[in-house]
Amino acid sequence: MPTATAPPPIDVRTLLDFRGLELVFPNGTVALSGVDLTVDRGEFVSIVGPSGCGKSTLLRIASGLESASSGTADVSAKRIGYVFQDATLLPWRTVQGNVELLAELHKAPAAERTAKAAAAIGLVGLTGFEKHLPKQLSGGMKMRVSLARSLTLDPELFLFDEPFGALDEITRERLNDELLRLFVEQRFAGLFITHSVSEAVYLSTKVVVMSGRPGAVVKRFDVPFPMPRDPDIRFTPEFAELVGEVSHALREGHR
Ligand SMILES: Nc1ncnc2c1ncn2[C@@H]1O[C@H](COP(=O)(O)OP(=O)(O)OP(=O)(O)O)[C@@H](O)[C@H]1O
C-alpha cells in the first residue's frame, strides 16, 4: 500500500528571513548589498551600523513599505508592532484614545478595545494617565504610549527604529529595562535598530553589525547573558568585553 508522504515541516520558528537582499534606489543609490538576516521566535536582534548603512531601509522592507531589488524577504509574523524614534501620537487624542487606535482600525468591538488598551497601558506603567493628552507627557511617557499601542495587537514581531535615541540617559535605561521585561513576559521577537552598542548588547540575544553603504552584515554576535537580564550585567567585565568586540567590528566595517 502506498504510504502518504508527509508535507515538509513548516519552520514556524523563523518570523523574518532575509536572504541576499539588495536594494538599489531609482536614483542609483545602492543601499543594501547581500544582506542575510533572520529573526526567530524568542530572539531579540539588534542592528548597529554607521549612519546611512540601510538600517531603516531594512525595517521598511520588513514592514512591506519598501521592496528589495533582489534577494528574498520573507516575513511570516502575522502581527507586527512598530515603535519609531518619534512616538507618532495623535495630539488631540488622550492616552487611552491613542492606545485604542490600532484595535479601532482593526474594527475590534468597543468593549474589547477598551479592555485591551487598559491592559496595555498597565503593561507600560501608565495606569492613571489614561485621560492625559500627549502634550502633557514626557518624551519617555510618549514612547510608552507608542509601545502600548502596538501591544494591543499582541505582536509576534516588534520592529524598533531607534526608539530611545532622543531620550536622556536615565529615561533610556529605564525604558531598556521595561522593554526587557515586556520581551520576557509578552514573548514577542524583536528587531531593534540603535546607534548605541551598549544598548544593543544589553537588550539583545543577538547583535548584527553592518558596514557603511552599501549596507552588508559584517559580523554577528550571540549575547550569552541570560534572560531575564540582570541590570548589573552592564557593570561586569564580560559585558564590557562584548561591547568592545562589537565596537571594534563596527569600526572595522566603517573603513
Ligand atoms: N528613497 C530613497 N532614494 C534614494 N536614496 C535613499 C532613499 N531612502 C534612503 N536612501 C539612502 O539609502 C541609504 C540608507 O538609508 P537608511 O535611512 O536606511 O539608513 P540608516 O542606516 O537607517 O541611517 P541612519 O542611521 O542615519 O538613520 C542612505 O544613504 C540614504 O540616503
Q: How does pLDDT run across 124-145, given as a tens digit for each residue?
A: 999 999 999 999 999 999 999 9
Phi, psi angle pair for 182, to nearest 5° = -65, -40
CATH domain 14-78+156-253 topology: Rossmann fold (3.40.50)
For ligand 1, say whether the CB of 213 is within 6 Å of any of its atoms.
yes
Name the residue with the closest Cα to ligand 1, atom 11: 31
pLDDT digits (tens, 9 = 90+) for 211-245: 988 999 999 999 999 999 999 999 999 999 999 99
C-alpha cell at 217: 552584515
Kindly report the protein residue whose alpha carbon is nearest to atom 30 of ligand 1: 52
pLDDT digits over 53-109, tens only?
Answer: 999 999 999 999 999 999 999 999 989 999 998 889 999 999 999 999 988 888 889
Spatial distance between the Cα atoms of 177 and 185, rounded to a whole number of angstroms: 12
Ligand 1 lined by 71 (C-beta under 6 Å): no
Domain boundaries, the chain: 14-78+156-253, 89-155
Backbone angles phi, psi at 186, to 5 degrees: -90, -15
Whether the CB-CB separation of 176 and 202 falls below 8 Å is answered with yes
What is the pLDDT of the chain when averaged over all its residues? 92
Whole-structure pTM value: 0.92
What are the grid coordinates assigned to 17, written together?
Answer: 528571513
In angstroms, rounded to a whole number, what is the distance separating the alpha carbons of residues 95 and 101? 10
Q: Is 206 in the pocket of ligand 1 (CB under 6 A)?
A: no
Atom of ligand 1 nearest to the CA of 60: 18
Confidence check: pLDDT of 2 > 50: no
